[in-house]
Amino acid sequence: MNPTTDLSMLTLVSNASIVVKIVLSILLILSFLSWTVIFRKFFAVSRAMRQTDEFEGRFWSGTELTKLLDAANRNRESSGMEERIFAAGMSEFLKQQKSSGNAVNGVARAMRAVFTREMDKLESGLPLLASIGSTSPYIGLFGTVWGIMNAFTGLANLENVSLAVVAPGIAEALVATAIGLFAAIPAVAAYNFFNNRVGRLSNRIDGFSEEFLNILERQSRS
- What is the structure's pLDDT at 2? 46
Q: Mean per-residue pLDDT for 188-203?
A: 95
More confident residue, 100 or 38: 38
Q: Mean per-residue pLDDT for 74-99?
A: 86
pLDDT at 172 over 80: no
Interacting residues of 26 by C-beta distance below 8 A, sequence separation 6+: 139
More confident residue, 97 or 196: 196
Return the ∠ at Cα 83 (arms to 55 and 116), rounded to 5°.
Answer: 135
- What is the structure's pLDDT at 147? 80
- % of residues, the chain, pLDDT over 90: 46
- What is the structure's pLDDT at 7? 53
Q: How confident is the model at residue 149 (pLDDT cuts 50, 70, 90)?
A: confident
The 10s digit of each residue's pLDDT in 12-35 is 666 667 887 888 899 999 999 999
CA distance 60 to 121: 26
pLDDT at 154 over 80: no
Q: Residue 144 class from Cβ within 10 Å (0-12 exposed, 13-18 middle, 19+ buried)?
A: buried
Q: Mean per-residue pLDDT for 157-167?
A: 59
